[in-house]
Structures are given as C-alpha cells and as structure tokens.
Chain A
Amino acid sequence: MTTNRRPLMALGLTFAVLLVLPFVATALDSTATISLVTRMMIYAIAASSLNLILGYGGMVSFGHAAYYGLGGYTVGILYAHFVSGDPLFGIIPGTNQFLITLPAALLVSGLFALALGALSLRTSGVQFIMITLAFAQMVFFLFVSLEMYGGDDGLIIRRPNELLGLRLRDELTFYFLTLGFLAAYVGLCGRIVNSRFGMVIGGIRQNERRMAAIGVSTYRYKLVAFVIAGMGAGLAGALMANHARFVSPDMLHWTKSGELMIMVILGGMGTLLGPILGAISLIGLESVLSGWTENWQFYLGPILVLIVLFARGGLYSLIPGLRGNGRD
C-alpha cells in the first residue's frame, strides 16, 4: 500500500493522455472530439465529488444532481440578470465574470448541501437514499416552476463567462480550463482521502459503530464531507453551464443523479481514477449507443443490471496491476 505506486501511475497516465488528446484531435481536424471529451471531464468532476461521499464515505446519496444543477443555474441566473440589468432579489447585480460566478456557484451548492445534509444525515440506509432523492427532486420541481428563469425550457447563456481575457468560447481554451479544474479537484480529493479527515470518513464507511466507540461524532464529519462533495458538483455544474451555454431542469433531474452514481460504480468506487474512467465510459457508451439507435436507454438499462450483478469493482479492477488496489 505504501510502496505500490501503480494507482498513481495509472492516474498520471490518464492525465497525460487527456493533455495530449486535443493536439491529436486538432491534427485530425476533429473538434467534436474536443467538445465530447470536455463533457466527459466535467462529468468526471461531478462523479469524483460523488465518489468522495459514496465511495470513500459510504453515503448512498441519490440527490447529487441537485448540487450540479444549482451550480449551473447560479451561472445561468447571474448571466440572465447581467443581460437584463435587474439585480437579483433587487440587490445582487448580475455578472458574467467567471471569477465571481464560480465562487457563487460553489457557495450556493455548498450551502444547499449543508442544509440538505444536515437533515438527511439524521437518517441512514434506505431512508437516506429516499430522502436525498426526494429533496433533489424538490429542487427540480422548483426550477420547473420558476417561469422567470425559463421554467421547463431552461435558460440560454448566449456568451460564456469572461475569465482574465481568456476566450472561453474557444473549444480548446475551455478544454484546458476544464482539464485544469479536473486535475485540481482530483488532486484535492487525493489529499483529503489520505488526511486525518479522510481516515475518519473511511472509518465511518467501514464501521460507524466502531467510530463512535473511539469517540467520533460521526454526524459532523459526514456533513463536512457532504458539503465538500456538493461544492465539487457545483463546480462541475458551473463549468457545464459555460460549456453548453445552456442550463435547464434536466441538469437537476433525478436520472442525472442516477447517471453520476453509475459513473462512480462503473469506474470503481473509492478510487481516484475510477470516477474519471466511469465518466469517460458512460458518456462514450451513450454517444456510441445513441449513434446507433435513439432507444439506447433500452440497451443501457440491462447493461447496467449486468454490471451490478456480475462486474463488481468496476473498470478500475480490470486494469492489470490495479486489481485489489481499490480504496488505496
């Protein structure tokens, strides 16, 4: 465990590929690839954040799309007010500066995770799953009913945010920005899971009763992890709003939470690389299947059932030399 550097090498290799990929794609004149991989990386951030509580902390949160969507809507709503000139709630002026919209998105998603976590972490097991799902759906219905922000149809963000003179409209620039955020967030997760805090979170997953017996108030630690994860999803949402230049209640829908869970499981829970692999594979699979048939979910569903029944440990454990290195 202390000597095995393979997981780290695999992670480094993945990032090296992501770093080189746009140059190859540009040489092959395939800009669609750059956009697709950008999407994959944004989902990888969201999945990594979910992995922090699901994979490392053992909290089966089924409402992760709420933070993702709130992050996106924060960017969208601030942009809408920037364009219209009316301040939000009569006091907060709109903006298109990423240096403001991003922290705002993190704040909103973090605060919401705090409120939701404070309530739902009073329970556990199936009840916890149902409650996180239900509260996330509450946010979904709220945004569906908010006609002033497009309701069902969502909000169009005509121009991406401005950031230090960078051209975020440019596919390549945005790609590298996203890659940077992915690297930073995964790096942060890597530090957290091995820190004192991470040891406690991992301990809570393995045996909460034991943790209480050595004097840990598990609730507080779970709540903090919940907030960190929520903010990660908010980051992904803010990036997606800028990438797609569009936000809609779709981002908040419960099936989105399900997809994020699938990414984590598919890639390998409780590993740093797993959620990245999971996001790449699921988005890849979706785009391949949807190229063949518009009824791709008809095939994805059974595939998913088979994965759960027969392929435990995810893709991560299929990589030679990494088997058994889960939860490193």
Chain B
Amino acid sequence: MTLVLEQILNGVQLGVMLFLLAAGLTLIFGIMGVINLAHGSLYMVGAYAAAVTASATGSAILAMLAGLAAAAVTGMAIEYVVLRRLYARNHLDQVLATFGLILFFNQGVTMLFGRQPLFVDIPAALSGAVEIVPGVPYPVYRLLIIGVGIAVAVGLYLLITRTRIGMLVRAGATNREMVRALGVDIRLLYTVVFGLGALLAGLAGLMAGPITSVQVGMGEQILILTFVVVVIGGIGSIRGAVVGALLVGIVDTMLRAFLPTLLRGMMAGAEADALGAGLSSMGVYLLMALVLLLRPKGLVPAHG
C-alpha cells in the first residue's frame, strides 16, 4: 500500500512536469494558432543552463535563475526570429520550421556539451525525505516539485481570471479575430504569452534535471507525451491541461511500476517483463485512443 502511495505521488510529480509544458503549448496554440515543436527544446535549454550553472557555481538559486532566463530568452528569440513569420501560415509550415529548430538546438547543445548526459545533484537543503504518512518517507525535492506545480496552476488561474492579460488570453482562445479587432497590441501580447510559455517549459526542465539526467533529446521525449496530454485534455484548454497531465502522469507511472509484476503472476518472468515493458510504454497512447473514441474534443474542451 505504501508503495502505491509513493507511486501515485511520483505520477503526480510527472504530471506536474507535463502540466508545465502542456500549459504553455496549449496557450500558445490557443492565442496564436501556432503549433510549436520546439517547445521541448526550451525545456532542454532550461535544464542545461541550470545544470551547467549549478556545477560551475554550486548555487541552486543561481542555477534556477539561469535556467529560467535561458529558456525565456531562447523562447523570445525563437518567437522574434522565426515563429512571428509563421502565424499566418498553415500548420504544415509551422511543423516543418519548428522541426528545423529542433535539429538546430539538439545539434547545437551536442556541440557545446557533448552526448554524455549531465547529472545534477539535488540541492543539499532539499535532499532529505519526510514522512508523508507514518512509515512512508518521500523525497522533499519531489514534494517541492508538486508544490511548485500547484502554485503555478493557481497562479495561472488567477492570471487568467483576474487580470487584463488574462482577459485577452481568454478572449484570444475563443476568438482570435476579436482580440485583433479590439486594437490590442497583438505583437506584445504574443511575445508575453510566448515568454510565459517558455518560462514554464524552462521551469519544468530545470526541475527535471536532478531527477532524470540532462541530455539531448529529453525535450522531444517529453514533448510527445505533452501532445498526448493536450489531446486528452482538450486543445487550447488550461483546465484540460491540468486534468490530462495528472491522468497521463499517474497512468504512465503506475503502469511502469506495477504492470510487469502483475503479468509475472500470469506468465514466465522474462516474457512478463518484456510484455510489461511494451504494454506500459503504450499505455498512455492507448488511453489517448480511448479518449478519442469517446470524447474526440478531449475531456475538458476549450469551447463550451
């Protein structure tokens, strides 16, 4: 039972990572109508900047600031140089151009830091564990991630429901033309939203560093999982991103943790492990298929 609790928390923690990426991706799509494959690259940039700063200075605070700044600056640069020219284009052009960006960033990072993964230590102050219920210790760092995720979700909620920018974001998600017609400085709004999305992706990347190891390709791996989240939750919908991220995070973690053991009760060990690994890696995609069959627009669609 304690193991189940622990795995659920791990699932929630993966869900938080996915939420941070999905929120940005879905906002950017909702406001600008752009599909940005390079969103995963921002995650990678954040992770690398933080990892390198941490090993150079030993300061977790500096590492965090570096990760956020690098992701935000890279994001705005991408927006300014490439994406701005793609708003009026079709999705195919957007996909291809941002695919080109991925090749560029992945190879660039390889040239700078090599192919070997970087490993980042958990900051000393956060390296312990606390007992969440008596007898069940859980790492402080992972709890912190979950806390940050909740804080970001609440912050986004307040931003979107209580501020002028949020009002424009909501209006933009339902009716892009209307926001244009309102005479808002649309370029500024776009840059702000894009910067925000990049910041969240960088935040996810820098927090993931101590848990997953920092390497080239980490961005795409999580990006595709983020797509699953967005499709399940409903494209353009922040609430959908929360629901989808938690669902995908928990289902993926639980399957990986328990399916092989479950299968081993039914068949030979080696075969059970192979099948278990195969099935659990397919699990969230099958979940997506199921959602598509039952609710093609996602669980929490953006419009009505």
Residues on A facing B (Cβ under 8 Å): 54, 60, 62, 119-120, 122-123, 125-127, 129-131, 133-135, 137-138, 141-142, 144-148, 254, 258, 261-262, 265, 295-298, 300-305, 307-309
Contact = CB atoms under 8 A, between A and B. Distances in A.
Interface centre among A261, A265, A309 (most CB of B within 10 A): A309
B257 interface: no
Contact of B281 (A119, A123, A133, A145): A145
A254 B224 contact: yes
B285 A138 contact: yes
B108 interface: yes
Nearest to A269: B92
Nearest to B289: A119
Q: How large is the interface on B (under 10, 10 to 19, 20 to 34, 35 or more residues)?
A: 35 or more
B53 interface: no
A305 B82 contact: yes
B285 A148 contact: no
A295 B111 contact: yes
B48 to A, nearest CB: 16
Contacts of B140: none
B62 interface: no
Interface in B22-57: 29, 35
B235 to A, nearest CB: 6
B230 A130 contact: yes
Interface in B73-118: 82, 85-86, 89, 91-93, 95-97, 99-108, 110-111
A120 B210 CA distance: 36
B97 A308 contact: yes
Given A304-B103, A308-B97, A254 B220 contact: yes
29 contacts: A54-B92, A60-B92, A62-B95, A120-B292, A127-B231, A129-B91, A133-B224, A134-B227, A138-B282, A138-B286, A142-B278, A144-B281, A145-B281, A146-B278, A147-B274, A254-B224, A261-B92, A296-B107, A297-B107, A298-B108, A301-B101, A302-B100, A303-B100, A304-B103, A308-B89, A308-B96, A309-B85, A309-B86, A309-B97
Contact of A131 (B86, B92, B97, B288): B288
A145 B274 contact: yes
B111 A261 contact: no
A271 to B, nearest CB: 15
A137 B285 contact: yes
A137 B228 CA distance: 11
A62 to B, nearest CB: 7
Contacts of A305: 82, 97, 100-101, 104
B230 A148 contact: no
A62 B98 CA distance: 13
A109 to B, nearest CB: 18
Contacts of B91: 60, 125-126, 129
A96 to B, nearest CB: 25
Tell me what chain A mostly uses at the interface: helix, strand, loop, or mixed. helix
Interface centre among B105, B110, B285 (most CB of A within 10 A): B285
Nearest to B221: A137
A60 B95 contact: yes
A295 B110 contact: yes
B128 interface: no
B293 interface: yes
Contacts of B286: 138
Contacts of A122: 292-293, 296
A155 to B, nearest CB: 15
B113 to A, nearest CB: 13
A204 to B, nearest CB: 15
Contacts of A133: 224, 227
Interface centre among A120, A125, A126, A147 (most CB of B within 10 A): A126
A300 B103 CA distance: 7
A57 B21 CA distance: 31
A129 to B, nearest CB: 6
Interface in B228-265: 228, 230-231, 235
A298 B103 contact: yes
Interface centre among B86, B89, B92, B105 (most CB of A within 10 A): B92
B103 to A, nearest CB: 4
Contacts of A146: 274, 278
Contacts of B29: 126
A130 to B, nearest CB: 4
B292 A119 contact: yes
A319 B82 CA distance: 28
A300 B278 contact: no
A126 B278 contact: no
Nearest to A305: B100
Contacts of A119: 289, 292-293
